[in-house]
Amino acid sequence: MTSWNKSLNIRNPISQIYYYHKNSGDSELLAVSQNKLNKVIDGNLTSVTGILTSDSTKFVVYKDRKINDAVLIADKGRLKVYNGSSVSEVTPHVPTDGTNGTPAETTDPGVNDLINLTNFRTFAIKKDRIFAAAHPTVKNRVSFCYFDPYLGYAVYDYWPAIYFFDVATEDNDEIVELRAFRNTLIILCKRSAWVLTGDGATLLDYQLTKINVPKGCISQNSVQEVGNNLFYLGDDHIYSLFSTEQEYISAQIVSDAIGPILKSISLVEKSQATSIFHDNKYYLSFPSGLTLVYDITLEQWTKYTNIKATGFVVIDNELYFSADDGFIYKFNENVYSDDGEAIAFMMKTKIIDFDLPVNMKKIRRMWLVMKQYQGSQSSFDLHATIDQYTLINLNNLGVDDKKGLGAIWDVSKWDEALWDFSEILQQMVKIRKKGKSIQVQIENSNVDEPCSVYGIVIEYEIKKPK
């Protein structure tokens, strides 16, 4: 459980936010609401001139033919551009015959197909060239823009009709997301994944290869570069694309520990998930408010239930998210409730039989490895179930504390013993019970008392049959 502070209110549902970094060093916070782009001016969100095709948007910073800043917008319509003051459709470049050393575009590369690309769903930049899924009917087609040899860089208003390739998908598979990854272009479809390598003006300069992945991608906004890997949400699990030194790319499941949670989420909600990678954590948020957070350092998942995010941004190393209620929220790590009311939680381990389901054991002790929060008290009620029917109250077992809690600590108490603040603490609890299995239950219903469990270690002895 974590909390957020209300930062800005647009009074209408916000579907996406984007932090625009300009070449000048300045920046703007942009927000999409009801087919309009808004920007922050003097702390308030102000509508920008121009209409979007939909609220489903993706942004990328590029440059125009005069090397001015431009934000390109894919909104399931024609390609849009934001120039700092207004949003408009990109005017297709008219190929020229070539004079004074400029290329004869009318013959090479020929007709500009931008006018026919009317469904820009996603795009990515690889080696200065823009690749996009934008065809209105061929959902597995990737188009790419022209690299102007006279200017020396690619241009977003010229998409030659011959500059495309169709991914050889099966069962009418369609492209969900494009991402640049380790000098390649990753093409994530609903049921498959592909990698494009190479660079050049013709199709002969590229090589398209299918990636060995268990599942495709169900949510465009779930895709994030996480460390050296690329995370995405499939219809059953969260996957991590990784690459070896030999440029071999494959995927592995990273969500085994939260499989039951993911199984309970509908496919519709999964398709609407949004994400971000910040402070070594991958945040994946669903419309219900459920947000799953993966810490790549600890390799552990955390579950939040109060983050109804439609988009995330990081500003000055602080995390913000937008929501359907019209607010942009700022993450506050030092507040653990939204309205001052306690948020009760209960965590159960799986039934632990130590891979010896029929052997009787003497379960001696248990250690809890937990996080200590600086300036905050953490307490919990601790119970264990032996053989699925004997409930043991562990609050008074092996703990020297007058309050009878399984563990309670604060900064001052532990500083006296440890001389300095330690984020990770261990609490030993004596059990001394016989049984074949054990299940541990941890509860807390106190306001502003965070509780994070990193691990549980149990000491036992196998009893010999008599």
Local confidence band at 420 (pLDDT 50, 70, 90 cut-offs): low
DSSP lists the bridge partners of residue 190 as none
In this structure, of 231-240, 291-300, 379-388, the range with the lowest mean pLDDT score is: 379-388
pLDDT tens profile 287-319: 999 999 999 998 999 988 889 999 999 999 999
Q: Is the pLDDT score of 427 beyond 70?
A: yes
- The predicted structure's pLDDT at residue 374: 74
Q: Residue 73: which of 111, 38, 44 has the closest Cα?
A: 38
Q: What is the distance between the alpha carbons of residues 155 and 234, in angstroms, rounded to a whole number?
A: 33
Buried b (16+ CB within 10 A) or exposed e, 212-250: ebebbbbbbbbbbebeebbbbbbbbbbbbbebeeeeebe
pLDDT at 407 over 90: no
pLDDT classification of 446: cutoffs 50, 70, 90: confident
Distance CA 237, CA 44 (A): 39
Hey, which residues does 278 pair with through a beta bridge? Answer: 281
C-alpha distances out from residue 323 to 280, 283, 288, 308, 309, Å: 23, 15, 11, 6, 5
Q: Which percentage of the chain shows pLDDT scores above 90?
A: 61
- Phi and psi dihedrals of 396, rounded to 5? -110, 10
Q: Match domain 3-332 to its CATH number in 1.10.260.40, 2.130.10.10, 2.60.40.10, 3.40.50.720.
A: 2.130.10.10
The answer to whether residue 363 scores a pLDDT higher than 80 is yes
3 touches 336 (CB < 8 A) = yes
Six-digit token string for 203? 């199709």
Work out the average pLDDT over 342-347. Answer: 80
Q: What is the mean pLDDT of residues 244-269?
A: 89
CATH T-level assignment (fold) for domain 345-462: Jelly Rolls (2.60.120)
pLDDT higher than 60, residue 457: yes
* Identical topology for domains 3-332 and 345-462: no
Exposed e or buried b per residue across 130-156, where buried means at least 16 C-beta atoms within 10 angstroms of its C-beta: bbbbbbeebbbbbbbbbbbeeeeebbb
pLDDT at 97: 86
Average pLDDT of span 186-199: 94
What is the pLDDT, as a whole number, of residue 418?
A: 42
Q: Tell me the C-alpha distance between 66 and 77, whole Å.
A: 25
**Of 181-195, 262-276, 378-392, minimum mean pLDDT range:** 378-392
Q: Give the confidence band of 422 by pLDDT, cuts at 50, 70, 90.
A: low
Q: How confident is the model at residue 3 (pLDDT cuts 50, 70, 90)?
A: very low
pLDDT of residue 164: 94
Chain centroid offset of residue 179 CA: 14
| Token representation of residue 324 | 């359907």
| Predicted confidence band of residue 414 (pLDDT cuts 50, 70, 90) | very low
Q: Are 4 and 321 in contact (CB under 8 A)?
A: yes
Mean pLDDT in residue range 46-50: 93
Is pLDDT of 465 > 80?
no
How does residue 247 score in pLDDT terms, banded at 50, 70 and 90?
Answer: low
Measure the CA dihedral 360/363/369/375, to 10°: 140
Q: How does the average pLDDT of the chain come out, rounded?
A: 87
Q: What is the pLDDT of residue 23?
A: 84
Q: In this predicted structure, what is the pLDDT of residue 1?
A: 35
Global pTM value: 0.80
Q: Which range has the top average pLDDT, 164-168, 183-187, 269-273?
A: 269-273
> Which amino acid is residue 162, in one-letter code?
I
121-172 pLDDT per residue, tens: 999 999 889 999 999 999 999 999 999 888 889 999 999 999 999 998 888 8
Please say if the pLDDT value at position 238 is more than 80. Answer: yes
Question: Domain spans of the chain?
Answer: 3-332, 345-462
Q: Tell me how crowded residue 7 is: count the other CB atoms within 10 A of its CB.
A: 18
